[in-house]
Amino acid sequence: MDTDTITCENVNLTDLERYLFDLQGFLVVENALTPVQIAAINQLLDQHIADVDEPLKQSIRFDGLLGWGTEFRDLIDNPRITPYLLALLGPKFRLDHDYVHIIRQGSGPIGSMLHGGGTPYDPCQYYLYRDGRMYNGLLAVAYNLTDVPHGVGGFGCIPGSHKSNLPLPQEWQDLQHPHPCVQAVSGKAGTAILFTEALSHGTLPWKGQHERRTLFYKYSPYPSAWSRYYYHPDNYPDLTQEQRQILKTPGVYP
């Protein structure tokens, strides 16, 4: 067997999951993080927020979290998520980049704008279906670290837009006044939303009374990269061989 290939039992999605991802461009996975993981990650975030926070800042973003602790490195190949990555990206997927968004009120770090879509075609962020198989470019895993109740904002998208043959209308991009076709996706802490970056998506303004904390791990098929930053596996001596493979630089040959 190719030593660069990641393997996992139960790789195939259910028929319903395959249908839903092809139809809408995203899937919701409940209990992707355990209560222990959620508490540990939030405790680490509290410490880093205390080091850099400005009291009136509405949103914060931290990038490159793997050096913060095993709590983040364990998610490189989260067993609740890896089967989906194998099915949607193939057996040699790679972690492209990671970060966390913390939103207290209003818009997120990149504003409240929809972005992405099936057209124009992006060679790094795409969705294709050929010969009974789904092919994805950049694929996002967004973990809710706090509850996202219905009606308070959070992740929003236009289901099916990853297959659109026409570009997203400019007048629909503003999520301050979302078009009725925009769907909000809620979920308890520990829920993960898997979505293709070809999907028209963004952050609806946050109206919750607590912080919205979302942890993003974004994966690519092995030949491609979205980020110019590459991981250096030797910086993390405790990685398993499988995790080291997932952090490899992009390329077809060794």
pLDDT digits (tens, 9 = 90+) for 183-227: 999 999 999 999 999 999 999 999 999 999 999 999 999 999 999
Segment 6-30, tens digit of pLDDT: 444 445 789 999 999 999 999 999 9
Of the listed ranges 57-61, 106-110, 186-190, 199-203, the least confidently predicted one is: 106-110
Of 126 and 6, the structure prediction assigns the larger pLDDT to 126
Q: What's the pLDDT tens digit per position in 142-154?
A: 999 999 999 999 9
Domain ranges of the chain: 23-246
> For the CA atoms of 145, 147, 151, 157, what is the dihedral angle to 10 degrees?
30
Q: Which CATH class is domain 23-246?
A: mainly beta
Confidence of residue 111 (pLDDT cuts 50, 70, 90): low
* In the predicted structure, residue 96 carries a pLDDT above the cut 80: yes
* pTM for the whole structure: 0.93
Confidence of residue 233 (pLDDT cuts 50, 70, 90): very high
Residues 91 and 200: their CA atoms lie apart, in Å, by 26
Provide the token pair at 146: 């706090």
Lowest mean pLDDT among 7-21, 45-59, 141-155, 230-244: 7-21
